[in-house]
């Protein structure tokens, strides 16, 4: 049962005619009649007594119609308030995003989001470093991995598989590894945070994690640069599926499937206080979640979503 059905029933009671109610609301008589039947079926009672020429309220209709009309008006007011709130979303969002995902996905998504909500302004902070909400000029952060600080609030956006991948050119020149031992003979494209180079990759099978040490001639603290090296054929990368989605769909890189795979991660929208979880932030969370779902759908359609996940 929905508001449109209730609107029709209330007008049928007002005009004492399904035909006149339909004409008043610019709907076909059959449509109005079906709406009446749906509402009666929902409540399990007839609201009208019908004859070939006349229609009038049943005893149940006389008791319940005033309450239904009151409920209809209340629901209509709530719906209008929600629509108005969405239409009038305004303010400033100060958001931190990681370099690769931020530049190649979030940036165009935010452009689209701001077209829908032109009264919003965005201040975007791009960094792969850990965020300090009390030092950095941001209110929100999109980050891979669950928040470890109990004082941090946030929304989980989605689960995100990670993949091993390389360009067709690299795999043509050096071959596609099929075992962990063969993988270790390849050039790993490594991520570095501060002074730590992440040259040990966690790879999982049947719930057991194996650490594989990769040799490498390239490491960077910029995740986007790691992706660019991968596309350019410089080695094998261990990356988020979201980061590599466009390159996978364009055929610039191929996933490498072994008996082990990188453990999946999670995308979170986090903030330091509940007061920052405003209507614009909730809308942004829903919007990004829908966009991520669309990306994963396209990957699944092209059989590029990891089966092991």
Q: What is the pLDDT of residues 183-193, one digit of tens each?
A: 999 999 999 98
Q: Specify burial of residue 27 (Cβ count, 10 A radius: 0-12, 13-18, 19+).
A: middle
Mean pLDDT of 261-284: 89
User: What is residue 23's predicted lDDT score, i.e. its pLDDT?
Assistant: 86
Does pLDDT of 52 surpass 50?
Answer: yes
Report CA dihedral (246, 250, 256, 262) to the nearest 10 degrees: 10
- Can you tell me whether residue 76 is helix, strand or coil? helix
With bands split at pLDDT 50, 70 and 90, how would you rate the model's confidence at 309? very low
The model's pLDDT over 97-153, given as tens digits with 9 standing for 90+, comes to 999 999 999 999 999 999 999 989 999 999 888 888 878 888 899 999 887 777 788
- Can you tell me whether residue 218 is helix, strand or coil? strand
Torsion sign across C-alpha atoms 144, 149, 154, 155: positive
Residues 6+ apart with CB under 8 A from 294: none
pTM assigned to the model: 0.69
Q: Specify burial of residue 69 (Cβ count, 10 A radius: 0-12, 13-18, 19+).
A: middle
- Can you tell me whether residue 111 is helix, strand or coil? helix
Poorest-pLDDT segment among 209-213, 282-286, 296-300: 282-286
Q: Answer for the pair 10, 65: CB distance below 8 angstroms, yes or no.
A: yes
Beta strands in the chain (DSSP E): 48-50, 55-57, 91-97, 120-126, 140-144, 153-160, 162-167, 187-193, 196-197, 200-205, 208-213, 215-220, 236-240, 253-255, 265-271
Does pLDDT of 7 surpass 50?
Answer: yes
Does pLDDT of 84 surpass 60?
Answer: no
Instruction: Report d(CA 70, CA 93) in Å as an integer.
Output: 39
How many helices (H) and strands (E) would you count in the chain? 11, 15
- With b meaning 16 or more CB within 10 Å and e meaning fewer, what string describes 192-219? eeeeeeeeebebeeeeeeeebebebeeb
Which pair of tokens denotes residue 146? 């669950």
With bands split at pLDDT 50, 70 and 90, how would you rate the model's confidence at 69? confident
The model's pLDDT over 227-254, given as tens digits with 9 standing for 90+, comes to 999 999 999 999 999 999 999 999 999 9
């Amino acid at each position: 049962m929905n508001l449109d059905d209730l609107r029709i029933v209330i007008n049928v009671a007002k005009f004492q005619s399904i035909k006149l109610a339909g004409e008043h609301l610019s709907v076909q008589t059959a449509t109005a009649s079906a709406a009446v039947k749906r509402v009666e079926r929902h409540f399990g009672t007839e609201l009208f007594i019908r004859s070939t020429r006349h229609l009038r309220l049943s005893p149940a209709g006389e008791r319940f119609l005033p309450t239904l009309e009151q409920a209809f008006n209340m629901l209509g007011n709530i719906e209008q308030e929600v629509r108005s709130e969405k239409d009038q979303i305004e303010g400033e969002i100060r958001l931190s995003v990681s370099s690769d995902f931020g530049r190649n996905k979030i940036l165009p998504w935010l452009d689209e989001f701001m077209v829908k909500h032109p009264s919003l302004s965005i201040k975007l902070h791009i960094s792969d470093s850990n965020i300090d909400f009390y030092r950095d000029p941001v209110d929100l952060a999109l980050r891979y991995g669950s928040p470890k600080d109990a004082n941090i609030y946030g929304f989980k956006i989605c689960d995100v598989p990670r993949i091993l991948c390389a360009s067709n050119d690299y795999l043509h020149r050096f071959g596609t590894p099929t075992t962990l031992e063969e993988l270790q003979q390849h050039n790993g494209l490594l991520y570095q945070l501060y002074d730590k180079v992440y040259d040990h990759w966690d790879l999982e099978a049947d719930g057991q994690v194996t650490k594989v040490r990769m040799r490498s001639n390239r490491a960077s603290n910029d995740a986007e640069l790691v992706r660019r090296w991968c596309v350019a054929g410089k080695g094998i990368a261990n990356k988020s599926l979201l980061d590599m989605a466009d390159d996978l769909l364009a055929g610039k890189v191929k996933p490498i499937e072994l008996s082990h795979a990188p453990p999946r991660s999670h995308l979170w929208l986090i903030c330091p206080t509940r007061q920052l979880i405003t209507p614009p932030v909730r809308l942004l969370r829903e919007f990004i979640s829908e966009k991520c779902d669309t990306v994963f759908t396209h990957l699944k359609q092209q059989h590029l979503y990891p089966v092991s996940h």
